[in-house]
Amino acid sequence: MQAQSFWHLENIDVTHLLCPTKLGNEELMAQKKHCRFKKGDVVYVPDDLSDRIFFITEGQIKISVMNEEGKEITKAILGRGEVFGELAMLGEQKRHDYATALEDTDTCVVTLEELRSLMRDRSEINLFFMKIFGGRQLEMERRLESLIFRDSRSRIVEFLVNMARNKGQRVGYEWVIRKPVTHQEIANLTATSRQTVTTTLNDLRHKKLLTFNRSRLLIRDLDKLVEEMR
C-alpha cells in the first residue's frame, strides 16, 4: 500500500500547461495543438514515428498490440486527464502499439521537444509524469499477479472493483461508472473470453450486486463485490 500511496500524494492538474489551447491562444490553435479523433480513428500504429505525447481532454483511447496470430491484446483504456504516447520520453523511436479512439475524443498534442522544455521549467510536469510511469508500472504488476493467481471469474470481478475505485463516482453506498467499456474490452483486459465476461456480469446482476447497460454500470455494494474475488 505504501508504494501505491506514493503515486497518489498529489492530484496534479497540468491541463493548463499541456493543453494551452484551452486558454484561447489563437496562435497555438493555428499550430494544431488540439486534435480531435472520431470513434474508430487510429491515432498511431506500430512503426509510426514516436515524437509526440497526447493529453486526453475528453473521450477514451485504447492502447493495444497484436500477437503473431493477429489477436488484439488490450494494454490500457485511457480517459479524460490521462496521457498516452509517453514512451517517447524514454527513448522510444517508433511506436510499437496501436492507439485507437473508442469514442469521439479530444486531445492536446505536445512534441517531445516542447515537453522537455516544459519539464525544465515546471517541476509539476516532472511529478505528473513520475506519477504516470509509477502508476502504470504498478498496474502492470497487478495485472500479471492477477493472471497468475486468479481464475477468469475473479479477474473480471477484480477489474470491476478497480474500475469503480479508479474511475467510478460514489453515490451513497453505490458506485456509478459512466460509459463503461464493452464486454469484449473487459475480456481483452482480463485475458478471458467475451462469453465469460457476459456470464460473470449476468451472475453478479442476478445476485443484485450490480446493474448495467451501455451507458453506465452501477455497483450496489462494493464490499460484497470484493468478497466475490475470494
CA distances from 103 to 42, 141, 171, 192 (A): 11, 28, 26, 23
Which pTM does this prediction carry?
0.76
User: Does residue 155 contact residue 186 with C-beta atoms inside 8 Å?
Assistant: no
Domains of the chain: 2-146 (2.60.120.10), 151-227 (1.10.10.10)
User: What's the one-letter identity of residue 113?
Assistant: E
pLDDT by position in tens, the chain (length 230): 333 333 333 455 666 667 755 444 444 444 447 899 999 999 999 999 999 999 999 999 999 998 888 888 889 999 988 899 999 988 889 999 999 999 999 999 988 888 888 888 888 888 888 888 888 888 888 888 888 889 999 999 999 999 999 889 998 889 999 888 899 999 999 999 999 999 999 999 999 999 998 889 999 999 999 999 87
**pLDDT tens, residue by residue, 79-116:** 988 899 999 988 889 999 999 999 999 999 988 888 88
